[in-house]
Structure 1
Amino acid sequence: MDDLSRSPTAVLADDALLGLLLPFWQLVIGAFVLFVVVVSVGRLARRGRSRMTTALLVTAAAIAGFAVVGVLLQG
């Protein structure tokens, strides 16, 4: 009986508000991730060439691994 007390208009308004807020939070999260990546790359670059090469190899292996797992789980 509680479901009947809410009008469909109120439900649509709630969904619309969430729809407006969702891109904003994605932007905030994306900006935070970009900031962390830039700071970590700066710290890594200051440590020298050998650590940078190792980090790039590890990152490439991680990307390839995620791609393989994604392809395997897709089927």
Structure 2
Amino acid sequence: MATPPALAADAVLGLLVPLWQWAIGLLVLVTVVVSARKLLMRGPSRMGGALLLAGGAVLVLTAISYIMESL
């Protein structure tokens, strides 16, 4: 039996995966910076909500990154 030929699509996807990880990392960084700015502007009374918003954004982006990597 001969080995199956390598698919070009797999090679292209392999090159794009690091690009997606950079894009997700950049989005996480932007989300954290915007959330921290809003937190500082709102003051300590709104700290809980802002931290939940930032934490939720990080968790969602991490889940998306994990799903994209496992595909």
Kindly name which structure, 1 or 2, has the bigger radius of gyration based on alpha carbons: 1
CA distance in 2, matches of 1:29, 1:51: 27
Identity %: 49
* TM-score, scaled to structure 2: 0.55
**Gapped regions of structure 1 (runs ≥ 5):** 1-6, 64-75
2:43 to 40, 48, 72: 48
Q: Count the aligned residue pairs.
A: 52
CA distance in 2, matches of 1:21, 1:32: 17
2:5 to 3, 8, 12: 8
* TM-score, scaled to structure 1: 0.52
**Gapped regions of structure 2 (runs ≥ 5):** 57-71
Task: Identify, as 1 or 2, the structure richer in helix.
Answer: 1
